[in-house]
Amino acid sequence: MPHTTRLLFFAGSAREGSLNKRLARLAHDVAEANGIAATLADLGDYPMPIYDGDLEEREGQPDNAKKLKSLMSVHDGIFIACPEYNASITPLLKNTLDWVGRVKDQGEAPLAVYKTRVFALGSASPGAIGGLRGLIAVRQTLELGLGALVLPDQIAVPRATEAFDDDGHLKDKMLMEILKTVVQKLARAAHVMRGEEGA
C-alpha cells in the first residue's frame, strides 16, 4: 500500500492566545483543505525541564521528548511557527529541539529524526517584520545544528494581532497565498524525501 505523506504542525509558543499557534493551526487547515494528511500539536502538551547534562545522566531524556520524537517520526514533513524573542528562537523551541535531538533509539543514527524529514518555517509577530529575524536562528539550529533540510520558502506575518480574521484566515490575500505555497512545497518535498528514503 502506498505511504501517505503526513505533515506535522506546531508552534514555538505554548501561550494560550499565541499568534504562532494561530499560524500553525491555519497552515494545518490549509494542508487538510488540500487533501494532505496533517496533525496539529501543541508544545504545551510536552513540557520538559531546561536541558541539563547532569539531569540527563541521572534520569535520561524526559518522556515528553521521547513522545514528541515518536510523533515527529510518523510524519514526513514538519511546519514550525516560531515567535521571535530578542531577534532569536524562543527558549521553549530551542529546549524542545535540543532534548528531542538527544533521544536515540536503538540502532538509530544520531539526529535521525531531523535528518530524515523536511521542515518549513513560519513566524508571526505584532511587529512590522513578522518575526523574520528569529527564523534565522531557528533555521541555524535545524540546519547547522541538527542536520535537517529546511525549505527556503517561509512565511512571516507582521502586525499579527490584526492579521487574522474571525475564521482564522489571514486577511492579506498575498500572505494567504504564500502560506499555501509553503504548505504545498513542504508536502511535495516530504513526499520526494520519503520516496528517496525508501529507494
Ligand X SMILES: Cc1cc2nc3c(=O)[nH]c(=O)nc-3n(C[C@H](O)[C@H](O)[C@H](O)COP(=O)(O)O)c2cc1C
61 binds ligand X (CB under 6 A): no
The one among 84, 120, 137, 142 contacting ligand X by CB under 6 A: 84
Decide whether 3 or 15 has the Cβ nearer to ligand X: 15
The one among 120, 131, 175, 183 contacting ligand X by CB under 6 A: 131
Q: Which three cell numbers stand for residue 100?
A: 528531542
125 binds ligand X (CB under 6 A): yes
- In this structure, are strands 77-81 and 118-124 parallel, antiparallel, or unpaired? parallel
Decide whether 76 or 84 has the Cβ nearer to ligand X: 84
127 binds ligand X (CB under 6 A): yes
Task: List Cβ neighbours of 6 (8 Å cut-off, separation of 6 or more).
Answer: 37, 38, 39, 74, 75, 76, 77, 190
Q: Is 145 helix (H, G, I), strand (E, B) or coil?
A: helix
Q: Least distance in Å: CB of 10 to ligand X?
A: 11
Decide whether 103 or 134 has the Cβ nearer to ligand X: 134
Identify which range of 13-21, 102-110, 145-153, 162-170 contacts ligand X by CB under 6 A.
13-21
18 binds ligand X (CB under 6 A): yes
Identify which range of 39-47, 67-75, 94-102, 119-127 contacts ligand X by CB under 6 A.
119-127
What angle do helix axes 63-73 and 91-102 make, rounded to 10 degrees? 80
C-alpha span between 122 and 182 (Å, rounded): 9
The closest alpha carbon to 23, from 198, 146, 178, 188, belongs to 178
CA distances (Å), 132 to each of 40, 82, 121, 156, 182, in order? 22, 9, 10, 6, 15
The one among 62, 77, 83, 122 contacting ligand X by CB under 6 A: 83
Decide whether 43 or 190 has the Cβ nearer to ligand X: 43
The closest alpha carbon to 13, from 118, 152, 126, belongs to 126
Q: Least distance in Å: CB of 132 to ligand X?
A: 8
The one among 79, 85, 99, 164 contacting ligand X by CB under 6 A: 85
Q: How many CA atoms, within 13 angstroms, populate the side-chain half-sphere of residue 137?
A: 19
Residues binding ligand X (CB under 6 A) = 11, 13, 15, 18-20, 83-87, 125-127, 131
